[in-house]
Chains A and B, each alone.
Chain A
Amino acid sequence: MRHRYARQLQNVHDDLLRIGSRVEHGLADAMRALTTADAELATNVVAGDREIDRTHVAIDEQIFELIATQQPVASDLRTLLATSAIASELERAGDYAKGIAKRVTVLLNQTPIVPIPATIGRMGELSHQMLTQSLDAFVKRDIAVARGLADIDAQVDDLEDEANAQIRDMIKHDVATLESGLILLEITYMLERLADRTTNIGERVIFMINNTTEALNQ
């Protein structure tokens, strides 16, 4: 029954996963561009963000139409509201990946070339893991997986403090690294914000499944 409705719900679901996978790739590429000094890869990430924005708009249009024409209720309605919110979070996460890629392009034009602290690489890995895990929680409708994001988020916060201390030390020792150091500080900030977006996604997933609100980000 309600075949058209079921198809429309499936389309929205698929589009969300598509946007999620684009953001995952964007972040992975931005981090790889940073650690391998690949300016071309960084430029690709910036260009790829437009597709994420387009898909986000398309998802919201579909959800708007579904609510107006199919009157979804209960779990369907919660899923659609969560999907719309998650799409926005992903779109913002994509913006951070794009922001990181842009900073990488600028960073590669600085002299002297500074070493990238391993803690930043680690932050990138954990943020990426959180992104994947938040999407897994959505697909599997798994509250435990969503809740698991809180712990990783705390690790990301700690790593950010550590990385920032290292960057400040670097600048203190050699003031010529000031410009590069400031760019790296922006990158750690964006990684931390990106990780927060994934805890927001986890909270939406919990609402979708349980109809309750829980904070995953103390």
Chain B
Amino acid sequence: MTMRSAMTLSRSIGFADLVGTRTRTRSATDSVNAKIEVRNFSFFYGNFKAINTVSMDIPANHVTAIIGPSGCGKSTLLRAINRMHDATIGAHAEGEMRFDGVNVYDPAVDSVLLRRRVGMVFQRPNPFQLTIFDNVAYGLRVNGMRDKKLIAQKVEESLKRAALWDEVKDRLFKSLGTALSGGQQQRLCIARAIASDPEVILMDEPCSALDPIASLKIEDLIDDLRDQFTIVIVTHNMQQAARVSDMTAFMLMNRATRAGELIEFDQTDKMFTAPSDQRTEDYISGQFG
């Protein structure tokens, strides 16, 4: 009985147990380690504390979803992972955001190098006003790749991994990225993000501007990418979080302090069948507010 096995698994917590929770997973000997360790992490916009002492381990080569009501700090947390807030005046962090054991807020960390290892896909597809080919090649050239053959090879490979190749291979140099459909644009942005071989891909509501079919294509793509990348996705669609992720983090704004807090972080199976915190239960059941 599948339910019984899901329950046995969900009783033990921690992502070391993730191995085997999905039918498609790796062998039991594989160990799952934390790619990103968030430790007592708080984030401020000036005097305003947007998130308060969040701690969680984001497992390597798995999909972690962040859910929670609007304004609870999901995007703030996601963007903090690759220091996207660096340019925001007054924005600063406390605590640690360790990437492969290194605190990314350590002054010695080069944010440009960091972003090469941590790609980002946004809510609204944002292709450049360039050809489809150049959209993907852009990041490679910025990163110093000059070999044209290698670039062409990399572009093809990335478009294939982003499940877009078949739809665009005949017009790589003819069409602008901006001329594609919304769903294709988003997959183009994913191809652009994966072209420079990042280790982590951050996605902030990547499907919210897409129709259901295009969304499901992105979900399939996320499923294909999970073996090569560590994926963190913010989504307002709880069923999407349930479908695509291995781990789910639920955040909520503290009413008194207005700061976002991590309420519960656990295996997605567990979160959607038997969450530990009543607030998680209320939120995922839509009995909220």
Q: Which residues of A contact B (CB under 8 A)?
A: 1-2, 5-6, 71-78, 211-213
B1-33: which residues lie under 8 A (CB-CB) from chain A? 4, 7, 10-11
Closest 7 CB pairs of A and B: A211-B274, A73-B272, A2-B286, A73-B284, A74-B281, A76-B285, A74-B275
Q: How far is the CA of A212 from the CA of B287 in the complex (A)?
A: 24
Interchain CA distance A159-B281 in the complex, whole Å: 44
In the complex the two chains form, is A211's CB within 8 Å of B7's CB?
yes
17 A-B pairs in the complex with CB atoms less than 8 angstroms apart: A1-B286, A1-B288, A5-B286, A6-B287, A73-B238, A73-B284, A74-B272, A74-B273, A74-B274, A75-B285, A76-B285, A78-B273, A211-B7, A211-B274, A212-B7, A212-B11, A213-B4
Chain B interface residues toward A at CB < 8 A: 4, 7, 10-11, 238-239, 242, 271-275, 280-281, 284-289
For residue B289, which residues in chain A have a CB less than 8 angstroms away from its CB?
Answer: 1
**Min C-beta distance of B235 to chain A, whole Å:** 15
Cα separation A177 to B127 with both chains bound (whole Å): 90
Q: How far is the CA of A36 from the CA of B274 in the complex (A)?
A: 49
Nearest neighbor of B281 in chain A, beta-carbon distance: A74
The residue of chain A having its C-beta at the shortest distance from the C-beta of B286 within the complex is A2
Alpha-carbon distance A68/B273, docked complex (angstroms) = 17
The docked-state distance in angstroms from the alpha carbon of A69 to that of B17 is 32
Most B CB within 10 A of own CB, among A74, A212, A213: A74
Return the contact of B274 from the options A1, A2, A5, A78 (Cβ within 8 A): A78
In the complex, which residue of chain B has the Cβ closest to the Cβ of A2? B286
When the two chains form the complex, which single residue of B10, B239, B271, B273 contacts A71, counting CB atoms closer than 8 Å?
Answer: B239
Instruction: Name the B residues within 8 Å of A213 (CB-CB).
Output: 4, 7
Residues of A within 8 A of B284 (CB): 73-74
Which one of A1, A2, A72, A75 has the greatest number of beta carbons of chain B within 10 Å? A75
Alpha-carbon separation in the docked complex, A211 to B272 (Å): 12
Given contacts A73-B238, A75-B285, 6 further A-B contacts (CB under 8 A): A1-B286, A1-B288, A2-B286, A5-B286, A74-B275, A78-B274
- Highest count of chain B CB atoms <10 Å: which of A6, A73, A75: A73
Nearest CB to that of A70 among chain B residues?
B286
The distance from the CB of B222 to the nearest CB of chain A, in whole angstroms, is 20
**Distance of A71 Cα from B271 Cα, bound (Å):** 14
